[in-house]
Amino acid sequence: MTPIEPVHGTGTLLTIAALAVVLLLVLIMRFRLHAFVSLVLVSLLTALAAGIPFADVVPEMMKGFGNTLASVALLVGFGAMIGRMLEVTGGAQVLADRLINKFGANRAPLALGVASLLFGFPIFFDAGLVVMLPIIFSVAMRFGGSVLLYALPSAGAFAVMHAFVPPHPGPVAAGDLLGADIGLLLIVGLILAIPTWFFGSYLFGLWTGKRIYVPVPEMLGAETDASGNIVRNTAAPPEFGRVMTVLLLPLGLIFLNTGLNTLATMGSINGDATWVAFLRLIGQTPVALLITVLVAMALLGRGRSKAELEKIMDRALAPICTVILVTGAGGMFGGILRASGIGTALAGSLENIGMPLIVAAFVIATALRVAQGSATVALTTTAGLIAPTVAATTGLSQLDLCFLVIAIASGSTVLSHFNDSGFWLVGRFLNMDEKTTLKTWTVMETLLGTIGFALAALGWWLL
């Protein structure tokens, strides 16, 4: 397909982009139109307004949608399967119990936070928090004090892992749209996520828990079947070593690929050698997660029938369909912005006003986050908006692209409030009113985003 020549000037293109974002927010917030439908509709209208030829509109939309899903769907799907296996088999409980025994009672909040960081690698924020809440409540009842002492470090760990680290859909989609290496992004995301969590969630949780007392809510109800009977997990929980193997295996495989790639670039090994190519293949993120899914089924699924394992895998995929489609639609929107020339116009404008690219990315993501609530939509939409700018900017390294993704993720984390499902999820589960939720959860999310951006900007300017 031949490149499409812009038919409008810079001012017109930027106006179209601004109106497209406003329309997207109005459709989602005012008319409650689903984000997937809204993104597809706005992509179509933006293409027409920008003057893309009628014959090229649908192909450009499909190209952006398909290119995003090609990388995102596999990672998100496999990540959900791994998380579901850990959840159903009791792996989360085993991990939390072991860490509390190691850290001791005085450091129970730290143990729960570390457990959530580990468990937060494969599992989404909502699912991870629901799985950990019974553990959090039981620990809080055992040791006493405000439930915030134990809940905030854990919830913050899930939040920062969900925003910063692949295979979660936001960073995967943003990394794909900006051309970042996913393996390197995983390493950078982990390195920045840990201090971000420690200062923005763990220390804040200790400080807040001593000043705001929230009693331990009633335990979550037991799972029941269609007849109302309690479903009990009769299988023995997995050993701690098995749980850690499942959690660390994908990290090790991906690190192997990244390390070999670095050595090949330095000339220390022959990058064309068969054994190097094979090891790099199994270290590619989709293959590494596929291997981990199979290992998780073998290690965690012992004592379960093949039919039970199939049902676990099947139920893991249903909740992520919306996430995948919204992410793909965000890629479609970004594709239209690239094809229309809006990205190039935005690049020139940012250069003229002197705003650094990483600051602009954070500001745009923050505005979208505050306006419409969804971190995934803010992250994906921002990446789509600035992707053409990134492509038009010379001299950006793979590390720069990773720092840029983290800056966008940080902007999409701050200022969680009434239009964010996470705000209500945490508030309701901890039995807090809106004012208390704003003073605790919203402040913590803002700290996480601010600290994450500061670390990303530091890396952007120093490395």
Instruction: For residue 374, report the phi and psi dihedrals to the nearest 5 degrees.
Output: -75, 125
Indicate the SS3 state at residue 284.
coil
Give the tokens for residue 250: 């994908």
pTM above threshold 0.75: no
Q: Which 8-state DSSP code applies to residue 212?
A: S
Residue given tokens 């705001």 in the structure block: 212
Specify the pLDDT at position 230: 42
How many angstroms separate the CA atoms of 289 and 254, rounded? Answer: 9
Q: Are 420 and 374 in contact (CB under 8 A)?
A: yes
Specify the pLDDT at position 221: 42
Specify the pLDDT at position 100: 75
Specify the pLDDT at position 207: 94
Give the tokens for residue 110: 């730290």
Specify the pLDDT at position 220: 45
Q: Where are the domains of the chain?
A: 10-226+321-462, 242-317
Q: Are 46 and 340 in contact (CB under 8 A)?
A: yes
Residues of the chain with pLDDT under 70: 1-7, 71, 92, 122, 127, 130-131, 134, 218-235, 262, 265-266, 343-344, 346-354, 371-373, 419, 421
Q: What is the DSSP string of 156-205?
A: HHHHHHHHHSTTSHHHHHHHHHHT--HHHHHHHHHHHHHHHHIIIIIHHH
Q: How many CB atoms lie within 10 A of CB 168?
A: 26
Specify the pLDDT at position 371: 66
Specify the pLDDT at position 337: 78
